[in-house]
Every structure is written in C-alpha cells, then in structure tokens.
Amino acid sequence: MSKNDKRETIDILKKAEETMFSVSGTYGFRVLDAWGYRYVTKITWVKEGKPGLGQYFRGMSEDCLFGIKGKVPYKIVNGKRQQETTTFTAPRGEHSEKPEKMRKMIEKVSFPPFVEVFARPKESIDIFDSDTPKVEWHYIGNQADGTVF
C-alpha cells in the first residue's frame, strides 16, 4: 500500500459520518477528538508474565480506546447483540505489538473496515485490495509497512 493510499484511509476515517474507531497509545484521546469520535470505553489488556519497564510503576497492562462517530448500529448476529468485556489477559508479543485477542474482540462488536493506529504489525492488510479477506484490518504507524505518519 502506498503512502497516498494510507493518507486516503486516514481521510476516510476522519470524514466518516458513522463509524467505530479504536486507538491505543499516549495520544489516543487526542486522535479520537481530532477526528471527531466520541469516546465510549477502554479495553484493558493485562499482560501475562513479569512486569515491564517503568519509573514509578512497572507496566502490566495496556489500554485501547474505543470510540464512535454518528449513530452506529449495534452489531447483531443470530438475533443477539454482540458484546465483549473491557478486560482480557494475553501474553506479550514484540514491543508494542497488540495481541490477536484484542483484534478479535473489536471484530466481534464492530463492522469493518478495521484500523489500528500507532501499529507495529509484521505486515499491513490492504483494505483497497479486492483479494482482502472479509475481516479487513489496516495498520497505520511508524513501523507499519515502513511508512511514518
């Protein structure tokens, strides 16, 4: 995916009238606000294993902010509203890599396409590619596809 395609994706997210959005990282609230999303809740990943680095507190968790824009319908499957919990436990991956469990939780309650901001995945899935699987994830970050935003 080219840098222009990624910028178009960001523009689509910013201009969308009805959508859901999740973001993690220090600037998460700023991104939600700047792009016009209303904060709904946070998803907390409790990291398995020994504590991470820290000055006053040693990190054992990471938060993902979940927001919406407009009047997004609830996701219904077989007559049942799809819901998840706000906390889950999963092992650590590479530095700043989010667990697959977090993606599955977001997919359960949301409609595609899905975007992870401040991402560091091994590879990006092109949401503009006709061969993309039904679960569409797009990654934006300084280590995603080598493109910096």
Looking at residue 40, the DSSP 8-state letter turns out to be E
Whether 149 is in a domain gets the answer no
Residue 33 backbone zone (phi > 0: left; psi -120 to 50: alpha; other: beta): alpha
Residue pLDDT, tens place only, 32-90: 888 888 898 999 999 999 998 888 999 899 888 888 888 888 999 999 999 999 999 99
Residue pLDDT, tens place only, 112-141: 777 777 666 555 444 444 454 456 676 766
Whether 27 is in a domain gets the answer yes
**38-47 vs 87-90, strand pairing mode:** parallel
For residue 91, what are the domain limits?
3-140
Whether 74 is in a domain gets the answer yes
Task: Report, as an integer, the average pLDDT of 107-112.
Answer: 87
Q: Which residues contact 117 (CB under 8 A, 6 or more apart)?
A: 23, 24, 25, 31, 140, 141
State how many domains the chain has: 1
Whether 14 is in a domain gets the answer yes
Whether 146 is in a domain gets the answer no
Q: Which residue would you say has higher pLDDT here, 20 or 116? A: 116
pTM of the full structure: 0.72
Which residue do the tokens 């991402």 mark?
A: 119
Whether 48 is in a domain gets the answer yes
Whether 68 is in a domain gets the answer yes
Whether 147 is in a domain gets the answer no
**pLDDT for res 78:** 95
Spell out a b/e string for 14-37, using b for 16 or more CB atoms within 10 Å of the CB, else e.
eebeebbbbbbbeebeebbeebbb
